Chains A and B, each alone.
Chain A
Amino acid sequence: MIEPRSEPPGTIDREIPSSLNQLYQEVILDHYRKPRNKGHLDGATHAITMNNPLCGDVIELMLRVEGGSIAEARFLGRGCSISLASASMLTGRVRGKSLEQALELSRKFTHLLHGEGALLSDDDLGDLRTLAGVSKFPVRIKCALLAWNCLEELGDGTDADGGSG
């Protein structure tokens, strides 16, 4: 019968490949394990739930817009480190912005994920820039964008009545 361990694996490669180090930066893991602004938002003016039907990940994004700017953003959901870290960072970055400005941020972030390196010096993106490593993992871009897709849906006004879709 097989005794898999009687042969010590010859080439255990203990080093973490740099692409993985870039993808899973400490900041990202920190947002994943200690998400900011996670929980229900009382008095939300905008809310929407979106899922990724291929993997079952779900994010609900809630905004409280007052006097034309986002006073508070919170989220609920489940997903991988990339989608939750991205949602957590989103809720921090959009606070104080108008919906229009938030959508502009969303566009920049999307370009960053598609490898637009110049954006790495754009302070508006803040810690979102740590997610730039996702550009090397094209299949994971949709994870990073799940919360932003919620934001764009809300910005389009398709679900601006606070219902969850």
Chain B
Amino acid sequence: MAEMTDTKQATGTLASERPPEAAGRGDAGDVSAGGGWDLAAIRAQFPILSREVHGHPLAYLDNAASSQQPLRVLNRVERYLREEHANVHRGVHQLSAEATEAYEGARRSVAAHAGTRDPAEIVFTRGTTEAVNLVASSWGDAFIGAGDEIVLTKMEHHSNLVPWQLLAGRTGCKLGFVDVTSEGTLDLDDYDRLLGKRPRLVACTHVSNSLGTVNPVREIVDRAHAAGALTLIDGAQAAPHMLTDVAKLGCDFYAFSSHKMCGPTGVGALWARRELLEEMPPYQGGGEMISDVKLERSSWAKVPHKFEAGTPNISGVVGFGEAARFLADLGSEAIASHEDALKRAVFERLDEIEGLHLYGPREGRTAVFSFTYGDIHPHDLSTILDQRGIAIRAGHHCNQPLMDHYGISSTARASFYFYNSPREIDVLCEGLALAAEVFGGIA
């Protein structure tokens, strides 16, 4: 397949053979971030990146909301739909067997991305949101009671907050929130204080979607376990940038979404330790998740199928699997090194702009930048940048409590991915200069 060959070309030079200086600097930004990263070839695999918006080349800087999909993923999904589609797990005919193999093959790829050897520990969901809801409903309703404590943090995405509020409403459990420092990191002393209440669960994001903060997950997990709590990590913003190793992280549940890591929307995964999945009651009832059904009562299929009631999003899962393989072929070190270089360049450029305030830590973070610019409201910034083809996000980023913490209602957010180019940083800065001009200066 042509697209496979493309990828091999793009990834074949990833080994650090080429000196970093050997960087080209064309308009596509085919710049090496050290280690022979052929950005032009990588960008060529993402058809959408070559479109124009309002007469300007698209500069897509909204990756924390959703990333774009490479040809490899698009083609794999199309091939599945054209040639392999049938319902999974139900038929003996050839297509059903092929569809089931595609679906279960994707589970193996996603398991590899999460760092587990046991694909049965991967439950496919609609995304991170549903993965968290699954745990809150299934595990929560079974094991949490009135007066139990659950520890969250003040930087959680609403999807790792509201499901626990609902659980608290159902069970009478209590929620505690780890404070965030002015720098944008978790206050671990405050965390220890909350652990003193002997919580049953700590649910915490791996990477903050608005500040970019990479939380010390291993440390958080170890302290939680020492206090007798299980841990759920929201990996929505981490899985796109790093190969996860759930064994190294030591956590009990890990949730992530396909569409933020080059895969389709509407699909994601919950990883959980097998014993936990086995103890937990089903999340939803229906076909696919049963072993034996009588009129009065049924028994459940084995994990993970116990948690996958009904016909799943098969083509989405197939695309998700291909995306996981695509990222594995790029290599998480190569991705990290390019993103690091972009990050340093963004800091260097944005630091120079008077009136621009960046949120989040300087170190230990991903390339997602929340900022405010003088008195120009983030919405206005976003509208102005959009006229130059620059896609950024403005708002509270589903982090309202965090915004309240900083005493603001919204920020502008530019979030980069491995296919972004240094040229796009220039374009962003030019767009900001235009915004200042439209507003007659920065107040």
Contact = CB atoms under 8 A, between A and B. Distances in A.
A92 B65 CA distance: 39
B437 A4 contact: no
B351 interface: no
Given A24-B439, A56-B400, A80-B380, A12 B430 contact: yes
Given A1-B33, A12-B430, A55 B423 contact: no
Interface in A12-42: 12-14, 16-17, 19-21, 23-24, 26, 29, 33
Interface of B: 20, 23, 25, 27, 31, 33-34, 54, 341-342, 344-345, 348-349, 375-380, 383-384, 387-388, 394-396, 400, 403, 409-410, 422-423, 425-427, 430, 434, 437-440, 443
B437 A16 contact: yes
B379 A2 contact: no
Nearest to B338: A2
9 contacts: A2-B23, A2-B31, A2-B344, A2-B345, A7-B423, A13-B388, A16-B434, A58-B409, A81-B439
Given A55-B409, A56-B409, 6 more contacts: A5-B349, A19-B387, A33-B443, A78-B409, A80-B379, A81-B380
Contact of A56 (B349, B375, B376, B395): B395
Nearest to B403: A56
A23 B383 contact: yes
A24 B430 CA distance: 18
A125 B25 CA distance: 52
Contacts of A2: 23, 31, 33, 341-342, 344-345, 422
A146 B426 CA distance: 35
Contacts of B23: 2
B410 A55 contact: yes
Nearest to A6: B25
Given A137-B383, A140-B379, A1 B20 contact: yes
A14 B27 CA distance: 19
A159 interface: no
A54 interface: yes
Contact of B396 (A19, A55, A82): A55
A54 B415 CA distance: 19
A20 B437 CA distance: 11
Interface in A50-69: 54-58
Given A9-B430, A55-B396, A82-B380, A4 B438 contact: no
Contacts of B387: 17, 19-20
Contacts of A58: 409
Contacts of B396: 55-56
Contacts of A1: 20, 33-34, 341, 344
A79 B440 contact: no
A7 B383 contact: no
A23 B297 CA distance: 63
Contacts of A143: 379
Given A55-B395, A82-B380, A29 B341 contact: no
Contacts of A5: 349, 426
Nearest to B346: A4
A19 B55 CA distance: 13
Choose among A6, A9, A55 the residue with the greatest number of B CB atoms under 10 Å from its CB.
A55
